[in-house]
Chains A and B, each alone.
Chain A
Amino acid sequence: MRSILQLRVPQIAGDEDQLRGLKIETTAASSPSVVRFRDPQIEMAHGAGGKASRRLVEGLFAPLLYPASRKPLSDAAHLEVGGARIAFTTDSFVVKPLHFPGGSIGELAVNGTMNDLAVSGAKGIAMTVTFVLEEGLPTADLEAEVRAMSGALKRAGVVMAGGDTKVVERGKADGMYITTAGIGTPLPGVKVDARSVRPGDKILLSGPIGDHGITILLARGELDFEADLYSDTRSVLPLVEALAAECGPGIHWMRDPTRGGVATALNELARDSGLGIELLEEEIPMHDAVRGACELLGLDPLHIANEGQFLAVVSPEYAAIALNSLQQTAGGEEARIVGQVRVEPANAVLVITRYGGSRIVDMLVGDPLPRIC
């Protein structure tokens, strides 16, 4: 699971002392449709970030764990603790292989957690980590990951506040799993919420899509082709900060389109806002190697996972300045305005093709599976 719900805990009996001074942000209630989780067993799809994941979160986790929450799914919760505002998130990393071109699980664990905070409008300050290690894992591999984490922490200016280690029997953890939690402080003047999104708002994408997902697919060595591709894992905070500095109040929503890709993130936005998203296919930046791999495998690049990119919805008067601020920041040169928010088709994402045709693009169903012909 990538993110938790925006958390609202109005009353927690028995833990009052511990929670004294903890005031949770209250929000106006909307009326989301009731989702029931009736799947008989857990399948890989429930962790793939698409429809099944959402069904699990909304149909099982949310009603029991966050019953008071009325806010849409988000990347991090914003809380008030003893008068101070903090952002809070958690994440797990189960990538295979542990190392891949452009990054590794350790680097991903730091960047991914900090990015969840960044796109919720917060700058990460500290994190914790739990390692689940598999019996037999070479120490050199573990050390490499810890070094990768250390480098990413330094670059992000984040403190590791604590950690935990568990070891499981051989064959039970693909080498290692990493779970993190992160806290951050809100960026001044930034408030992101799908319900602030309005028709006419512009959709920005920070750079080319699909690099991470296709790199991992190829790094598994199951396909007989190679491409000059690197994971885009990185901290998006510098880009988010640049955006916030130039057009803080104009930013209505942000999301890093990780598992499930751009299509899933924007479908969630469409659903949470009740509006329609119109994407211009030719404006979506993408490397040729990603496009080629997707063509060969019959995958939709809009469903492929990213790590170091984010989507932002800004009000139209800020669109040009927002694009400029991203493009002027290192790593944001390929940012584009890729579409806009419309009244219709309500709750859906519409893609306009290069020749003026159109198609609906839905959330990912399960994992992306290659076609045979």
Chain B
Amino acid sequence: MQYVDEFRDPELITKASEEIRRLADPRRHYRIMEVCGGHTHAIYRFGLKDILPSNIDLIHGPGCPVCVLPMGRIDDGLAIAKDPNTIFAAFGDMMRVPGAHGSPLEHKARGTDVRIVYSPADALELARKFPEKEVIFFAIGFETTAPSTALTLMSAKAEGIHNFSVFCNHVTIVPAIRAILDSPDMRLDGFIGPGHVSTVIGCRPYEWIARNEGKPVVTSGFEPLDLLQSIIMLLRQLQAGEAKVENQYKRVVPWEGNRAALKAMAEVFELRPYFEWRGLGFISQSALRIREKYVAWDAEQRYSVPETRVTDPKSAQCGEVLKGVLKPAQCKLFGKECTPEHPIGALMVSSEGSCAAYYNYEYRKSLVTRISSVA
């Protein structure tokens, strides 16, 4: 398969892993954060940890939009969708995410009209198809998905579709990285930068990390070879005592980002003064809200939102895991009260959360005493 197989070539992967072993100083311990949930997923899915030296520790960052969404926002969205005249539309990722009063799928079983959509444009299409219904699109995601929400709102306005609104939960990645770097117990050596987000914002917004914090950043793709090459690029910088932003994902990510996408976002969204992140608390200017000129399509303005606040149980140590202070399995709830089927903490919620990825792909591997291929 083109653009995939060449980045999964076993021979090249072996070479890359040998290069990593050659570059990694055995006297040193490397702590590298992969910011994006997609990276976390890929690292586990391809079993990349098994082919890295043990002194390279990959820390899973805050880049899973489902994980970092506060529970109360889900409750709020579902509360306004309770009206029988309403269709609640959301991405597949959201469907099993629990609010305090159940997940969208549980609300569907109780009678709420919940639909899975593959894009915000599909939600707008529902509004065209069912003009007698009110369609609420529950928008989540970083800069990766925000432009398509923006373009959809622009279409709704242009076409005068008034039975459509967006419950906006879009967040931005840079303030989250800053919050992690500001944490006193944080000890990171470098970042594998978020590939999908960078297709929109480019690489420039990370330059302060290299300049002010002295940490290298390499924007990376999602295939095994992408990730290994990004680790090589980071190790080379670290060995040379450098800190700069590099773009490994050049085939997709333009350094300056995608102007058209950024323009659409600027047209429709503005920064919220603050927003709550699950596991990280309130972070200023870290999320988007819909501008006044699109107020007619802003679900938060159109409906009476209960503004529910639900705190995670104190025993869930999501913040510590997010910052790499604890490994997923070191959390008190991991694999006991908190599992992918019944997630309690943020990071167990989506398959891209570090706890869920660890649970799905690594947990129980500790029981393996011998791994060898089929004879």
Contacts and interface: CB of A to CB of B under 8 A. Distances in A.
A273 to B, nearest CB: 15
Contact of A357 (B50, B363, B364, B369): B50
A344 B369 contact: yes
Contacts of A373: 38, 65, 141, 144-145, 196
A20 interface: no
B364 A345 contact: yes
Interface in B333-373: 340-341, 350-352, 360-365, 367-371, 373
A362 B360 contact: yes
A370 B361 contact: no
Contacts of A365: 96, 340-341
B17 to A, nearest CB: 8
Contacts of A280: 373-374
A42 B109 contact: yes
A373 B37 CA distance: 9
Interface stretch (B39-47, B263-271, B306-314): B39-47
Contact of B365 (A283, A350, A369): A350
Interface stretch (B7-15, B159-167, B240-248, B289-297): B7-15
Interface string A335-373: 001011000111110111111111111100110011111
A110 to B, nearest CB: 31
A288 B5 CA distance: 11
Interface in A257-309: 276, 278, 280, 283, 288, 291-292, 295, 298
B119 to A, nearest CB: 8
Interface stretch (B21-29, B87-95, B174-182, B213-221): B87-95
A339 B368 contact: no
B215 to A, nearest CB: 24
Contact of B51 (A345, A357, A371): A357
Nearest to A292: B1
Given A42-B109, A280-B373, A344-B369, A372 B47 contact: no
Nearest to B366: A345
A365 B1 CA distance: 28
A43 interface: yes
A360 B365 contact: yes
Interface of B: 1, 4, 8, 10, 13-14, 17, 38, 41, 44-51, 65, 91-93, 95-96, 105-106, 108-110, 116, 118, 122, 140-141, 144-145, 196, 224, 340-341, 350-352, 360-365, 367-371, 373-375
